[in-house]
Structure 1
Amino acid sequence: MTDETPETPAAKPILRVVKGDLTSEELVALVTVVSVRNAAAANAAIPSRPKTRSAWGHPAGMARKPHQFGPDQWRRSTFGG
């Protein structure tokens, strides 16, 4: 008995050189450029997460905290203690 596998139709080539004769290095460079460009386009289609903003310049940081009464509070009000 022989293992007969059904023949699959020939896959359509992704790239085809129409004119000229490419060396193997040129073909590798061409495939690399096309694959990087396709990957960049695919990544651009994916929605990205919104970037978190730094709280450094938030206006709430400029508001003063209410004054606490008690001994030595004038010093602690300056250093946040």
Structure 2
Amino acid sequence: MTIKVVRGNPTPEELAAALAVVRARAAAASAEPSGAPAPRDSWSDPSRIAAHSVPRPGPVSWSRTYWPA
């Protein structure tokens, strides 16, 4: 890995701090599992909202949509 200073004149301490940040970010990125999805929280699971199937309307249900039962 090569780091090049494009502008300015940083001190050796500033370069060391910037390199430490870059290395820490690279180590954190390589430590994360790349292919495994994160576990889903039960609150964000859409199947909890529709846990049971909605009953299908019958052949004459269209006539009962307006009139109270």
TM-score (norm 2): 0.46
TM-score (norm 1): 0.39
Q: Choose between structure 1 and 2 for higher RCO, CA contacts under 8 A separated by at least 6 residues.
A: 1
Larger-gyration structure (1/2): 1
